[in-house]
Amino acid sequence: MASRVVDQQQAREVSDKVASKGISIEDKEILEKKMHGMAVVIEKLESSRQKLLMEIDSQSLEIERLFEENSNLSSSLQEAMSIALHSENLVKDYLKQNEVLRGILDKLRTDQARGLLDSHHNGSNKTGLAEYTPKVLSIKDQLAKEQSKAEALSAVVYGGV
C-alpha cells in the first residue's frame, strides 16, 4: 500500500520533470517501468519484513515457553534428587538395622545352641532334651552358624552391605 503511494508520487514527479525538461516518451516509459519494478521489489521486501517479524515473534514465544519448561524440569529434577537422596538414606538406615538384627539373631542362635549343649552336659532334662545326643546338638550349632552366614551373604548380594 505504502509502495503504491510512493509509486504514484514518483510517477507524478517524473511526469512533471518530463514536461519541464522535455524527456522523450520512450525515456519516460523506461523510467516508469523501472519505478514500477522498484515498487514491486519494495512491496516484496515489505512483505518479507512482515513475515520475518512474525517469525521472530513466534520464535520469541517458543523461547519463553522453552525457558518455562526448562524451569519446571529443573524443579522436578531437584525434587526427584531430593526424594532419591532421602530414599538412599532410608535404605542405609534399614541396612544398618538389618545388620543389628542379624547380629542379635546370631547371638540368640548361638546362645540357644550353647544352652542345649549345656543342658545335655549337665544332664538336665528340664527342656525335654534327653533325646538329643551331642552330635545332634553339634549339628544344630553348626546349622545356626551356617544360617547366619547365609543371611549375611544374602544381605551382601541383595543389600550391598
Split into its structural domains, the chain has a count of: 1
φ, ψ for residue 123 (rounded to 5)? 75, 15
Return the sign of the alpha-carbon dihedral for residues 85, 90, 93, 98.
Answer: negative
CA angle 106, 107, 108 (to 5 degrees): 90
What distance in Å separates the CA atoms of residue 99 and residue 114, rounded to the nearest whole number?
22
Whole-model pTM: value is: 0.49
What distance in Å separates the CA atoms of residue 161 and residue 148, rounded to the nearest whole number?
14
Domain with 110, as residue range(s), is: 2-159
pLDDT digits (tens, 9 = 90+) for 45-88: 999 999 999 999 999 999 999 999 999 999 999 999 999 999 99
Residue 124 has what pLDDT? 54
Which of 96-105, 120-129, 150-159 shows the lowest per-residue confidence on average (mean pLDDT)?
120-129
What distance in Å separates the CA atoms of residue 102 and residue 80, rounded to the nearest whole number?
32
